Structure 1
Amino acid sequence: MSALFNFQSLLLVILLLICTSAYVHQMFPTILDRNKTGFMGIFWKCARIGERLSPYISICCVLMAVSLFIGN
């Protein structure tokens, strides 16, 4: 089943996108800062969300891991 049709998988993909973008921005800030508009701007926005809401994103990561562990 595609991640677009399964809500939990869609949330997992979005959460991983936010975490990965924040990590890449921390390691290589110039890569994402150059591309604030267009398609690549999505990654810059996800990095901002990950940086500013990091406690909430961390809680969501833990909850998603627990729900995946219990579900399988």
Structure 2
Amino acid sequence: MSAIFNFQSLLIVLVLIICTATYAHGLVPSLIDRNKSGPLGVLWKAARIGERLSPYVSLCCIAMAISMLM
């Protein structure tokens, strides 16, 4: 089943995109910052969400890991 049709899988994909974009922005900030618009602007927005809401994103990661183990 596709991640679009399964809500839990969709949330996992979104959290992973946010975490990956934030990590990539920490390593190579110029790569993410130059693509603020267009299709790759989604990664810039995800990196901003990950930086500004990092405690909540980490709690979401922990909650998703626990729900996957159960």
Instruction: Tell me if both proteins adopt one fold, taking TM over 0.5 as the criterion.
Output: yes
Aligned twin of 2:47: 47
SS at the partner of 1:5? coil
What is the CA distance between 1:34 and its match in structure 2? Answer: 0.4
What is the CA distance between 1:27 and its match in structure 2? Answer: 0.3
Number of matched residues? Answer: 70
What is the CA distance between 1:29 and its match in structure 2? Answer: 0.1
5+ long unaligned stretches in structure 1: none
Equivalents in 2 of 1:44, 1:38: separation in Å? 10
User: Match of 2:52, as an amino acid?
Assistant: R
Equivalents in 2 of 1:59, 1:12: separation in Å? 13
> Could you tell me the percent identity over the aligned residues?
60
Could you list the structure 1 runs, at least 4 aligned residues long, displaced by more than 6 angstroms after superposition. none
5+ long unaligned stretches in structure 2: none
What is the CA distance between 1:65 and its match in structure 2? Answer: 0.2
What is the CA distance between 1:39 and its match in structure 2? Answer: 0.3
Aligned twin of 1:19: 19
